[in-house]
Amino acid sequence: MPLTRRDFARTSALTGAGIALAGTAGALASAPHALASADVAGEAAGRHGGAGYGPLVPDPEGLLALPAGFTYRVLTHAGRTRLESGEFTPAEHDGTAAFPGPRGSVLLVNNHEMDGPRDEAEFPVPLTEGLVYDPAAPGGCTIVEVRPDGAVAEWVGIAGTADNCAGGSTPWGTWLTCEENSDRAGENGMTRDHGYVFEVDPADRRANLDPRPLKFLGRYDHEAVVIDPRRGHAYLTEDADEPNGLFYRWTPPQGFRHGPGRFRALADDAGVLQAPTCYDSGGRYVDDLSRATRTGTVYGVDWVDVPDRDAREVAVREQFGPGEVTRGRKLEGMWWGDGGAYLVSSYARDESPEQHDGQVWFYDPRRRTLTLKVLLGADRDPARDGSFDGPDNITVSPYGGLIIAEDGDGAQHLFGATDSGRTYPIARNELNIGTEEEPEYSEFTGVTFSPDGRTLYANIQEPGIMLAVTGPWKRQKRR
């Protein structure tokens, strides 16, 4: 039964200024040095409130600055390390998840976000026999095995896909890789339609043969996906504009039971794909998530069916008229935790009603609410170290709060946000891919912890480097 605007307004009135949420990681307020101007009065810029691990120490190797006591290791490097088959590691590392592997190893599924004609990619994902969807596309996934003795092996999980971006893991131990690309066959050299989600099993190579797009999840510029382990819903984000993209929910058909390989048995139109309609505590319709300019803002959510999920004539996000759905600019990474989905809006500019440099929302499926947890205000100095903007990939930390990969302007960081919203740096990319006069630093991607919580994995997207970070992790207090 949908939560109506009237129900939400009545509940809000009973609880005061918004609904108090229980059972989450806590109210993740905005970073005190990076808030919208309405929230920063009296806060000192750059103050971290005692959270984190201290200042970052420059790396003599010029790759990764970390706090004192932390170390890193390069696991894969595009064009340098090699797959089991002998080809070079593909480029453009993106979304990653870690799974327990055989004999104490860790299996990492790593997306490679490459688009355009395959012959223009320097290090595409190799077209491994039986694992190719479209031989004209350069992207895909590799699987990286890190063994207890430190040895690393890498092989192809899927090839012939395009712009494999954030993706997401499933409760049954597989990876859903998402194409942030909706080229049709015949466009940009492609021979098959793109814009789909594919399932990759890191532990069973045979399960990945003959890749099949999961068309019931829609065809659009996918970014990330999470699965509600209790209710079975899939939640997905779309990174698109003109108009801004959407947050989606897929409801499985009645009686469907999740598990490895079971998605393959579903019809292309199985279940129901929907987009959200949000409204505030007064029952007023909200057209865009950028309207929220204070943390703690809570929106009620109803869900509206997508008319044509395969976008045969009109892009999915364009199938809704004014007043029908709620949009968001650059809806990026997601992670399931605390009984709901954390999702990122990386930034909003002139194409949005209000501007910001990043939001993190929490969707509570039980209450059917979206709550703004983190807000990074616009018009700050991106070159200042400790100034964070453009959150992208995200994970829930076993030590409390969130770990966020930055894809903004200037310096690029991995940074944490405590349960109370204090932010702190974890790493800084020091690999200059620009010039000395005009330095440029690639975004971080694929942030995820090992199953035992001792190692943080992350990627530098360009040229494509996977890193393992270890050190004196500790519980982050709410401050």
Residues of the chain above pLDDT 70, percent: 87
pLDDT score recorded for residue 478: 62
Q: Which of 21-25, 26-30, 181-185 has the highest mean pLDDT?
A: 181-185
Q: Of 43-52, 146-155, 373-382, 405-414, which range is least confident?
A: 43-52
Asked if 453 and 399 touch (Cβ cutoff 8 Å), the reply is yes
What is the total count of domains within the chain? 1
pLDDT score recorded for residue 419: 79
More confident call, 161 vs 37? 161
User: pLDDT (tens digit, 9 = 90+) per residue, 352-397?
Assistant: 999 999 999 999 999 999 999 999 887 666 666 667 888 999 999 9
Asked if 446 and 76 touch (Cβ cutoff 8 Å), the reply is no
Asked if 256 and 266 touch (Cβ cutoff 8 Å), the reply is yes
* Beta carbons within 10 angstroms of residue 92's beta carbon: 27
Mean local confidence (pLDDT), 281-301? 96
Q: Is residue 312 part of a domain?
A: yes
Kindly tell me if the per-residue pLDDT of 40 is higher than 70. no
More confident call, 410 vs 381? 410
pLDDT score recorded for residue 9: 44
* Beta carbons within 10 angstroms of residue 422's beta carbon: 25
User: pLDDT (tens digit, 9 = 90+) per residue, 240-256?
Assistant: 999 999 999 999 999 99
Host H or E run for residue 14: helix 5-15
pLDDT score recorded for residue 410: 87
Asked if 46 and 369 touch (Cβ cutoff 8 Å), the reply is no
Q: Is residue 477 part of a domain?
A: no
Asked if 356 and 290 touch (Cβ cutoff 8 Å), the reply is yes
pTM of the model: 0.90
State the pLDDT confidence band at 29, using cuts at 50, 70 and 90. Answer: very low
Question: 229-237 long-range CB contacts below 8 Å, 24 or more apart?
Answer: 229/171, 229/336, 231/365, 232/256, 232/258, 233/365, 235/334, 235/341, 235/343, 235/363, 236/178, 236/197, 236/334, 237/166, 237/331, 237/332, 237/333, 237/334, 237/343, 237/344
Kindly tell me if the per-residue pLDDT of 347 is higher than 80. yes
Show the tokens assigned to 303. Answer: 């869900």
Kindly tell me if the per-residue pLDDT of 35 is higher than 50. no
Q: Is residue 475 part of a domain?
A: no
Kindly tell me if the per-residue pLDDT of 17 is higher than 60. no
Q: Is residue 185 part of a domain?
A: yes
Residues of the chain above pLDDT 90, percent: 82
pLDDT score recorded for residue 246: 98
Q: Is residue 298 part of a domain?
A: yes
Place of tokens 């299996």: 107
* DSSP letters spanning 138-191: -EEEEEEEE-TTS-EEEEEEEEEES-B-SBEE-TTS-EEEEB---PPTTSTT-S
Q: Residue 336 is part of which domain span?
A: 5-470
Kindly tell me if the per-residue pLDDT of 237 is higher than 90. yes
Kindly tell me if the per-residue pLDDT of 270 is higher than 90. yes
Kindly tell me if the per-residue pLDDT of 42 is higher than 80. no
Q: What is the CATH number of the domain that holds 408?
A: 2.120.10.30
Q: Is residue 281 part of a domain?
A: yes
pLDDT score recorded for residue 16: 33
User: pLDDT (tens digit, 9 = 90+) per residue, 101-144?
Assistant: 999 999 999 999 999 999 999 999 999 999 999 999 999 999 99
pLDDT score recorded for residue 143: 98
* DSSP letters spanning 223-275: EEEEE-TTT--EEEEE--TTTTB-EEEEEPPTT----TTGGGGS-TT-SEEEE
Kindly tell me if the per-residue pLDDT of 30 is higher than 50. no
pLDDT score recorded for residue 28: 37
Beta strand spans in 346-433 (E): 359-364, 369-375, 391-396, 402-406, 413-417, 423-429
Q: Is residue 50 part of a domain?
A: yes
Kindly tell me if the per-residue pLDDT of 47 is higher than 70. no
Asked if 216 and 314 touch (Cβ cutoff 8 Å), the reply is no
Q: Is residue 447 part of a domain?
A: yes
Kindly tell me if the per-residue pLDDT of 37 is higher than 90. no
Kindly tell me if the per-residue pLDDT of 423 is higher than 80. yes
pLDDT score recorded for residue 479: 55
Average pLDDT of the chain is 89
